[in-house]
Amino acid sequence: MTRDVTNIAVGLSVAAISDLVDGRHGDPFSLLGMHQEGDERFTIRVFLPGAVRLDILSRADSGLIAKAELLHPAGLFIAVLDQACSYSLQIHWPGAIQITQDPYSFEPLLGDLDLHLISQGTHYNLAQALGANLMVIDGIPGVRFAVWAPNARRVSVVGDFNAWDGRRYPMRLRPQAGVWEIFIPHLTVGERYKFEIVDRHGALLPQKADPVARAAEASPSTASVIAPSQPFRFTDAAWMAKQRRSGRQERPLSIYEVHVGSWLRDMQDAGRSLNWVELSQRLIPYVKDMAFTHIELLPIMEHPFGGSWGYQPLGLFAPTGRYGTPEDFSYFVDRCHNQGIGVILDWVPAHFPTDVWGLARFDGTALYEHEDPREGFHRDWNTLIYNLGRNEVKGFLIASALEWLERYHIDGLRVDAVASMLYRDYSRPAGQWIPNRNGGRENLEAIEFFKHLNSIVHQRHPHALMVAEESTAFPNVTKAVEEGGLGFDMKWNMGWMHDTLDYMSKDPIYRKHHHSSMTFGMVYAYSEAFILPFSHDEVVHGKGSLLNKMPGDQWQKMAQLRALFGFMWGHPGKKLLFMGCEIGQGMEWSHDGSIEWNLLDQPGHTGLQRLVRDLNRIYRHSPALQYGDTASHGFEWAVSDDAEGSVFAMLRLDAEREAPILIVSNFTPIFWREYRLGVPQPGRWRQILNSDADIYAGSGAGVSDHASTYDIPSHGREWSLVLDLPPLSTIMLRYEQDQSV
């Protein structure tokens, strides 16, 4: 069956051989593998740098078919056969023998539909087409690799399995989509890999991590890792069914925002961060006990620099390896759901870091980013901006969002830095930005991207919560796409957060001059569906902790923080609180540290924690505190104009207006006795919370558990209550019954 190869050119030019052994040939499948040479001759060419000998074996019975000859000293072997056959390779390495299949014996892998959807940006299961996918072809297990790099001259897979030699596994180009692919037999889960790329000019680029890898090495290592193709077996069917039945905006939403690495560190083990399994045992029970409805995680997508807190990610399909495997993360989500806790992830489609092994000039060109730095470089963060004018880039980002919702059962995404995407002149001086096609400052491509993203997400996952971190007055962020909006479900109310904290930072004697800061939020409260956030951004970069924003001595600081939380939970809007704020942490948050859990040895901090727990429980079981979050007729001011007394009183109403709740805040250190305020109906009101109570380490000043109305008009209402308002406090009262009953 074999022929002598001596002095036979066998269809290879000197230039082709030179390009192949130098690792610069752009079409290796045209040279390697089995090829017919005329009517009666077949050649098998295999390039194995470093191999000593190569035998061609029958795949059927492993019998010897031919001993390959060395055609080029760099390791190019050739065997000439009389007929085609299914074969295996027996490679003799120095000190070892390997039997495997030839990657160049397999036909093209990706179908035309896959390639069409990739080029159109509508392949929403992108990680099943690109990246590293376990599969069996012709009975042979292995991994199919595929990567989008349309402007490369050559792309290879490199890893421990080929000594990171880019000459070994150059890939096949599918030109209609600019995708390179190869099937490498017998690779399996856990192997490290990257892509080695030669650009169109012949320059060798730094080896690149896989943009759609589902796993990656823990930082500071940078290789991608082959992940299992089969998803985790979740046991959260009941939770998922419940979410599908409930409305996104109607449900109670109280979010505990967490930076995984610094929530709790193991001081018995050099202060290391907990892993996902340990967090399942510690964080989940804590959040459940505190009665939060959701955990929101600062970005856990793979990111090179821990000091970015995840907001400069490079692995948009891979949970960071810092806290365990992707399966460990799935286990964490599954445990959350089984304990009745939703999981929201921060997700960053705005920009990415410039690390040379990442997306930056991925194939030697500005592939994911803009070429012009006036569009493609973010001056504030020294990052690159995604080019949303490219279908493939939009499809990459949307597929990433869907990956977290579908593969990991995530309940929602908080989209970071939306404002920076909506405006072309965001944080740019005159002359340093390019107007849109109409001459304006709006980023039309980003606007269309958000509409497309939210439409696809809600079409495939109607229960999923899409939240925008958007800090400007851009209109209709949370309006449906069909009605001209961006299609988000909720938006962080950054204005409310800044106004409220500015007011609370004032000495109480001066607050009367800033009274409108606390009422202004209701002017626009229903222009969008809002979340009220006290987020990580307010306790870093020299801003100090929430506690230390409050003026006065330690007791006054704690009292004001309790009063503020009472006001927040009573105010229309969903709730978000960053970890550590619930115990009154005194230190500014540090991602390298941990929450000051030792403070819970002190009654004031334990009292604050108990208050937050009780606020969550009241909120979750009070329709009146939920209905008005997004419905304007669920809220009325009872007192909004008492600047001199720094008193605010809000009425929260359920849909039937049967069980309203009255929230009254006194932001002075003065005990306002017999304070009269109007209420909408006669009857008895029962106190359900007093932030100044003994159980919260307050003063415990005597306040009646019940109050009955008087037939005396006040604040434009026919009936009124007379209350004692403790200093620096918020009290809540629930209407119980008509006096005549």
In order, the DSSP letters of 428-495 are --TTSS---TTS-SB-HHHHHHHHHHHHHHHHH-TT-EEEE---S--TTTTS-GGGTS---SEEE-HH
Instruction: From residue 204, give the alpha-carbon distance in Å to each of 24, 25, 318.
Output: 9, 12, 26
Strands, E, within 82-151: which ranges?
87-93, 96-100, 131-137, 140-148
Active-site residue set = 416, 469
Q: Are 633 and 622 in contact (CB under 8 A)?
A: no
Q: How many CB atoms lie within 10 A of CB 485?
A: 17
Q: What are phi and psi of 158, to 5 degrees?
A: -130, 155
Q: State the DSSP code for 282.
A: H
Q: Are 369 and 399 in contact (CB under 8 A)?
A: no
Closest residue by Cα to residue 630 from 532, 494, 528, 479? 528
Q: State the DSSP code for 647.
A: E
Q: Are 166 and 196 in contact (CB under 8 A)?
A: yes
3-state DSSP of 9-71: CCCCCHHHHHHHHCCCCCCHHHCCEEEECCCCCEEEEEECCCCCEEEEEECCCCCEEEECEEE
Which element (helix H / strand E) includes 239? helix 237-245
By DSSP bridging, strand 351-352 and strand 383-385 are antiparallel
Helices (H), 512-668: 516-519, 554-570, 603-620, 623-627
Alpha-carbon distance of 477 to 531, in angstroms, equals 13
Q: Are 491 and 477 in contact (CB under 8 A)?
A: yes
Q: How far is CA 549 from the centre of its chain?
A: 29
Q: How far is CA 675 from the centre of its chain?
A: 47
Which element (helix H / strand E) includes 240? helix 237-245
Alpha-carbon distance of 698 to 559, in angstroms, equals 7
The first and second tokens of residue 356, run together, are: 């040379």
